[in-house]
Amino acid sequence: MTTTGAVVVATSASSGTMTDRALRERLVSASVALVTALTTAASWWTVAGELAPPPPPRPLVAAADPLAALRPAPAPRRRVVVVRRSRAS
C-alpha cells in the first residue's frame, strides 16, 4: 500500500498537475489542521473535566431475585401417608 501510494504521488507530481512544493504545502496544511483540531479537542475535554461535576456514580442495580421466575408452590393438598421422608442431612 505504502509503495503504491508513493508511486501515485510521484506520477502525479511528474505529470505537472501538482508540484513538489505545492504537495508539501498541502500536506503541511493538512497536518497543521489535524494537530489544531486535536489540540482544541483536548483542551475542551480538559476544561470540561475541570469545570463539570464528576459523573454521578452508576446506580446500583439489585441482583434479580432468581426465585422471581418461579410460582408459589401450591398448598399441601392433604395428608399423605409416606414411607420415607427426603430431608437435608
Partner 1 sequence: MSTCAFRAMGTDWWVSSDGPGVGEVAGWVSEIERSLSRFIGGSSLCRLNADRIVADGRVAEVTRVALALRQLTDGAFDPCLGATLAALGYDRSFEQIGVAQPRRVVSELRVEIERDVVALRGSGALDLGGIAKGWAVDHVHDRLVRAGGRRVLVDGGGDMRGSGAPWPIGVGVDRAILLADGGVATSSAAHRAWSTPSGARMHHIVDPGTGEPARNNVVTAVVCAPTAALADGLATALVARPDRVLGRLQGLGVSALIEDEQGRWWSTDGWQEAA
User: Which residues in this chain contact partner 1 in the complex, by CB under 8 A?
Assistant: 63-67, 69-74, 76-77, 79-89
Q: How far is the CB of 89 from partner 1 (least distance, A)?
A: 4
Closest CB to partner 1 among 52 and 75?
75
Return all residues near 23 (Cβ < 8 A) that are at least 6 apart: 9, 13
Closest CB to partner 1 among 61 and 69?
69
Q: How far is the CB of 76 from partner 1 (least distance, A)?
A: 5
Spatial distance between the Cα atoms of 5 and 20, rounded to a whole number of angstroms: 15
Q: For the chain, first and last CA: distance in Å?
A: 72
